[in-house]
Amino acid sequence: MTIAIFVFSLLGAMAIGIPIAFSLLICGVALMWHLNMFDAQILAQNLLEGSNSFPLLAVPFFMLAGEIMNAGGLSRRIVNFAMACVGHIKGGLGYVTIMAAVIMAALSGSAVADAAALSALLLPMMVAAGHDRARSAGLIASAGIIAPVIPPSIGFVIFGVAGNVSISKLFMAGIVPGIMLGASLWITWWWLARREVVQVPPRKNMREIGVAMREATWALVMPLIVVFGLKFGVFTPTEAAVVAAVYALFISTFVYRELGLKDLYPLFVSSAKTSAVVMFLVAAAMVSAWLITVANLPAQLIEILQPMLDSPRLLMFTIMVIIIVIGTALDMTPTILLLTPVLMPVVKAAGIDPVYFGVLFIINCAIGLITPPVGTVLNAVAGVGKISMDEVTRGVMPFMIAQFTVMFAMVLFPALVMVPARWFY
């Protein structure tokens, strides 16, 4: 009965158009009434404590770093570098998109920001070269969702806080799976684009490649600072977010000189607004998470899934399918905040490594950003690229299938995630 009240109060509130954060609060109130423990003071206290977390400070700073990166010329120089390296190959603009997405993922951690930047920079070029518009938009959207998997990742920060899992270990464990997602896009694009008749840009000579690399060097150094700083314990993930934001600000204003004082205020306001939405979602979800614990929902779920606890792969497969279904309707952040406190006890009871589960969970949630009908990244690409949602959805399908294939391969073979992860941390 408790599970039914939790599910139907949440879905009912969302169905009538109430924003997700307020739907979570309504769900919390419904649970409190059911448990006969309604107290407005407890509700307010948990709401305040929900966002009172030091690790969560990483969220606004990583978002600020992403805003500065796109406005300060770092994204454009990364695209130019990728263009110089592989732009001359048949279908080269697609490979440029994938290369640029992987590099930019190591800078911002925001799928929407990366997809929007790539759409603005590369979609007109791909269409002008003769590539199918829908397929090009679909590639950009699917490449953008690598951002939440490769560190620094806002998704890993939120999951780590909600599930009490080491954020540093999650960051390190996400590197190889993120590259594997990029490789799946590379292969899929090669298969789809091999018969297209397109205009291929001329090959760059070594001097031009050197110039592009020199201009992009400052941007390419940033992910190395973050990864090596975390691996060798120089700073925590929260401190890494501050380092990333300050570094991006310094390079954009004093090295590339594309940002002036008058440009900073709008960037700070934009990142503050986005951060406020995320942080209020986190705070509201923590109310529900506390009540989930009080109502002992995880124990009830463990009892339901008891037959699967002896088969971790079957359990993981079932959980991944559940997340796929939920990801079609919910954005990444509420999915993480809703499911993490419910699923973590089940995962631990089955003996599944929480870091391994976290990586697959975030990959699944990231792919959910390009699954219709909601698809936040699909909407971003459609809006920036001035293309219909139907076209983007049609174009993204083969790439989405390739990424789901990689994810389920990781379910069948956990070593794909854990062997390289242990080396990194």
- Is residue 34 domain-resident? no
Assess contact for 380 and 119: CB atoms under 8 A.
yes
- Is residue 397 domain-resident? yes
For 44-91, write each residue's pLDDT tens digit. Answer: 777 777 677 777 788 888 888 878 887 887 878 888 888 888 777 877
pLDDT recorded at residue 205: 81
- Is residue 261 domain-resident? yes
pLDDT recorded at residue 179: 94
At 224, is the secondary structure helix, strand, or coil? Answer: helix
- Is residue 15 domain-resident? no
pLDDT recorded at residue 357: 95
Q: Measured in Å, how far apart are the chain's first and last C-alpha atoms? A: 43
At 145, is the secondary structure helix, strand, or coil? Answer: coil
Average pLDDT, the chain: 83
Task: Please tell me the total count of domains within the chain.
Answer: 1
Mean pLDDT of 171-200: 88
Tokens of 83: 């263009």
Burial 106-139 (b: 16+ CB within 10 A, else e): bbbbbbbbbbbbbbbbbbebbbebebbbbbbbbb
Spell out the alpha helix ranges (H) of 130-153: 133-144
- Is residue 36 domain-resident? no
pLDDT recorded at residue 317: 92
For 108-123, write each residue's pLDDT tens digit. Answer: 777 887 888 888 888 8
CA dihedral 81, 85, 86, 88 (to 10 degrees): 100
pLDDT beyond 90 at 303: no
- Is residue 18 domain-resident? no
Q: Which domain holds residue 402?
A: 55-276+299-424
pLDDT beyond 70 at 336: yes
**Which residues 6+ apart lie within 8 Å of 57 measured at CB?**
238, 241
pLDDT recorded at residue 1: 64
Mean pLDDT of 207-227: 83
- Is residue 286 domain-resident? no
pLDDT recorded at residue 353: 93
pLDDT recorded at residue 405: 95
- Is residue 108 domain-resident? yes
Among 42-56, 241-255, 288-302, 404-418, the minimum mean pLDDT is found in: 288-302
For 144-164, write each residue's pLDDT tens digit. Answer: 999 899 988 888 988 998 888
For 309-333, write each residue's pLDDT tens digit. Answer: 788 899 999 999 988 888 877 778 8
- Full-model pTM: 0.84
Tokens of 111: 């799928």
